[in-house]
Amino acid sequence: MGILEGRRVLVTGVLTQASIAFHVARVAQAEGARVVLTAHGRPSLVRRIAQRLPEPPPVIELDVTDATQLATLADRVGEHVDGLDGVLHSIGYAPPSALGGNFLSTPWEDVATAVHVSTYSLKSLTTAVLPLMGEGGSVVGLDFDASRAWEGYDWMGVAKAGLESCARYLARELGPRAIRVNLVAAGPLATTAARSVPGFDGDFWDRAAPLGWDAADAEPTARACVALLSDWFTATTGEIVHVDGGAHAVGGG
């Protein structure tokens, strides 16, 4: 039996087969989970990607900035599973003006978009599926180290700092309901999202990380997410688990 045997997990953020969320869904299935995917804007594309998983899961449409879709999310997920034990939040976006060295000139409207999609969505997604998590469960979000200012990351870095704080407040609020909320802060991986960030440099991480870092290997990150989704961390919440080869701990490069 796998560590997610019989568990029901909602996975957001699958865009391509390189997506971290795709690998989380794959490992979760290998560990026994029943998986449901969400898709933003192009569900037919995600359904094609889903066919590459060991067991192609159902795909439902979700725009985390759409109040109507959020209000109906629990019912739509409930058409495929009778509850949820875990949720992966793998959602983030910042307009081009909010990245690439434009920090001082980014207009509020674009900053607001970055914060809405990348930060507030952790709360809105979690509360939308609460009716399906009656007996507790685990929410895991994907993070990028917000303890420092990264060149070119700009307002997405601010949004990630907000995500870390949001996770702690959710952990505080939902602990009495036996729902854990944790983040996985991965090093940069060769995903569509990472390639869109100016200044992305996997070589720095390989030099800085005591264990080394392979930007093409999402397996360690996926396994960390699945471990947190399981019952192996029943007393852990409000935590940030770094999966970056140790780069965050030693600095330099």
The total of structural domains in the chain comes to 1
Amino acid at 230: S
Q: Is residue 1 part of a domain?
A: no
Could you read off the pLDDT of 68-108 as tens digits, one per residue?
999 999 999 999 999 999 999 999 999 999 999 999 999 99
The domain that holds 165 is classified in CATH as 3.40.50.720
- In this prediction the pTM is 0.95
**Which residue range is the domain that position 164 belongs to?**
8-250
Could you read off the pLDDT of 31-81 as tens digits, one per residue?
999 999 999 988 999 999 999 999 999 999 999 999 999 999 999 999 999
Quote the distance between the C-alpha of residue 66 and its chain's center: 18
Amino acid at 167: A
Q: Is residue 2 part of a domain?
A: no
Of 131, 132, 135, 138, nearest to 170 (Cα)? 138
